[in-house]
Copies of this chain bind each other. A is one copy, B any other.
Amino acid sequence: MTLILSNDDVERLLTMPDCIEALEQAYLDMAEGRGISRQRSDCITPTTYGEDAIYGLKSMDGVVPSLGVGAIRINSDIVTNPLVGNARRRVKIPAAPNNRYVGLVLLFSTHNGEPLAIFPDGVLQRMRVGATNGLGVKYMARENARSIGILGSGWQAETQLTAACAVRKIETVKCFSPNEENREAFCARMTQLLKIPVTSVSQPEEAVAGADIVMCSSNSLDPIFFQGWIEPGMHLSSIKKPEIEPDAIRAANRVAVHTHDTSPILVVAKGANFREDTKDAGWNAANKIDFKAYPALPELISGRAVGRANDAEVTCFLNNLGLGYQFAAAGSVIYKRAKEQNVGIGLPTDWFTETVHP
């Protein structure tokens, strides 16, 4: 049987501590060269959806032999770039039937090659982002960190907090995001979920002042955390490149990145209304930050690089690019739990395999 799982299944099956543990083992393998990842690729073309829209076929692969799983994550996106105020925003459109997005994870066995499971990527996508920044906290934040200031209250913010709370005894959280209504709702929900006070504040400075850990969790294409806000001993955490002002990155005593794959492989068709300036390459060029000069997460986990030497250091973790590898690692847990708990729709594996030599 090849399992078809839903986002709800994934949410029920995978706990944050499980996800962190699987990624931690996988990054250790990666540090030793035993686990591997293929850099993300983005194929961008025009689409009949609209003149201002683009079509993107994105994929990333990874294999964790010790967990017996290889994964490929695929996104098939319609993306627009509307002007919001003075700034361009990248907006994915749920253009598929029933107003849905298209993102898939396929899991394969390294033991015999068989397709194990197919499921949408959305829930796992934010779980693995959370777990990755959680590992940043585990290896770089002070052991005695008790407070978080989070900038953002969207889809990613919840798993960022859950992950941080899984690796440190967090007692208080302050949250700022521009939309008060969203922020209040987020704080109420997270107070319940985490069983600690998650307080809404109306200025970003209020959220970060005195915080042991600052978590940026936005979809901003501009900086939201600035050098002037740094305090001794702080750990800074970001889920995408532009969030932390380059001067703040440079001011940290230690910086680590998720991966040395600095940018996706990008293939753009003629006629695609693609705005390079909103993308990694533009950001890299403008800010002259050499991500390869910083240790990557696997080096912290394996002890080859030091995440923090003392309580006074300012540390900074940049989750600069995702890896298919994360989907393989966390996917192995999802598949194992699904089999144990008899979850999912089983389709004949013969539908996804063949007698013909490929």
The residues of A with any CB-CB pair to B shorter than 8 Å are: 4, 6-7, 32-39, 41, 43-49, 55, 57, 59, 61-63, 65, 68, 70, 72, 74-78, 92, 94-104, 106, 108-115, 118, 120-123, 125, 155, 265, 267-271, 345, 347, 349-358
Contact = CB atoms under 8 A, between A and B. Distances in A.
B47 A108 contact: no
A271 to B, nearest CB: 6
B36 A96 contact: no
Contacts of A112: 49, 78, 95-97
A180 B120 CA distance: 50
A57 B350 CA distance: 19
A241 B35 CA distance: 30
Given A97-B353, A100-B355, A352-B104, A68 B43 contact: no
B33 A358 contact: no
Given A55-B65, A59-B61, A356-B122, A115 B43 contact: no
Contacts of A70: 43, 45, 55, 57, 76
Contacts of A43: 36-38, 61-63, 70
A328 B14 CA distance: 34
A111 B57 contact: no
A338 B354 CA distance: 19
Contact of A122 (B41, B121, B358): B358
Contacts of A32: 270
A171 B36 CA distance: 51
Contact of A97 (B39, B61, B114): B114
A95 B75 CA distance: 28
A71 to B, nearest CB: 8
B45 A63 contact: yes
Given A72-B59, A118-B352, A358-B92, A47 B111 contact: yes
A98 B358 contact: no
A172 to B, nearest CB: 29
Nearest to A5: B351
A152 to B, nearest CB: 14
A343 to B, nearest CB: 14
29 contacts: A4-B351, A34-B270, A34-B271, A35-B45, A36-B45, A37-B43, A38-B265, A43-B63, A45-B63, A45-B110, A46-B65, A46-B110, A49-B111, A55-B70, A57-B70, A57-B108, A59-B72, A78-B112, A92-B357, A92-B358, A96-B112, A97-B349, A101-B354, A101-B355, A102-B108, A102-B353, A102-B358, A121-B354, A121-B358
